[in-house]
Chains A and B, each alone.
Chain A
Amino acid sequence: MPEDNAKFLDAPIPGQSLTTEPRSRPWEQPPKYNTSEEALDFYVPRLSDPELMEPMVNSMEEGTTVVAVADLIQSTGVMQGLHTLDVGLLISPVLVELLITQADVAGIKYTVGNEPDDIPSEGMLRKARGAASEGFFDESVEEQEEIVEDAHEEALEMQPEGLMSRREV
């Protein structure tokens, strides 16, 4: 528990990113490569270089999924101001294929990250819980709607009682 609290305090303060000088960060500058083709011209020859790829191959061998590594590469590229987030997302499939090829060439065991999993994810569990409790929420919503309708009808039946209001003769 104390460790969790410490992590919470390490998180950035909301609005912290706005405290720096505008355009002082690389991602606030115009990107170096504007199209996906230009970005690929930067990445493809470099990701094909075994010397540069050694740490990445090691990470994949240690258990980091190929998709996670590709995501790290493209998001780091965005942070360094090489390309926009959109271009990064577009070139992701190519990066994944390049990394798989590198892993195959290196002869390591790796996981791509899209393998079917027997253990249900947290999102699936949440959905199932939501579906199970849907009936309960539906009833309470109906009850609330009835209360609102009754109140509306009562309000219509009430006669105006102000000093200046017109009275029925």
Chain B
Amino acid sequence: MSSHIIKAMGSTDYIIKNMQNKADIAPTAGLLGRKQPRKSSRDGENTQSNIASYVKQIREVRKTYA
């Protein structure tokens, strides 16, 4: 296994622990910021189409950065 992958594994573990320790971030923050709760499969939403729409949203946001 490449050394950079091993290093990445270590830093991922560290990051996820840090993420959990970090106080709750408002859901309005970040690239997929929202004001309403996300509707999930429990609300009769299709998970696959939800994921596809999130990917589309992020790609559109990225275009504005470029």
Interface residues of A (CB under 8 A from B): 35-38, 40-49, 52-53, 55-56, 58-59, 62-64, 68-69, 72-73, 76-77, 80, 82, 90-91, 93-94, 97-98, 100-101, 104-105
Q: What are 18 A-to-B residue pairs whose CB atoms are below 8 Å?
A: A36-B50, A37-B38, A37-B50, A43-B19, A45-B27, A46-B22, A46-B25, A49-B25, A55-B15, A56-B11, A56-B15, A59-B8, A59-B11, A64-B5, A94-B55, A98-B58, A104-B62, A104-B66
Question: In the complex the two chains form, is B12's CB within 8 Å of A36's CB?
Answer: no
Number of A-B contacts (CB under 8 A): 113
Interface residues of B (CB under 8 A from A): 2, 4-5, 7-9, 11-20, 22, 25-27, 29-33, 38-42, 47, 50-51, 54-55, 58-59, 61-62, 65-66
Question: In the complex the two chains form, is B58's CB within 8 Å of A97's CB?
Answer: yes
Contact A73 to B12, CB < 8 A, known contacts A52-B22, A90-B47: yes
Smallest CB–CB gap between B22 and chain A, Å? 7
Contact A52 to B55, CB < 8 A, known contacts A44-B30, A47-B30: no
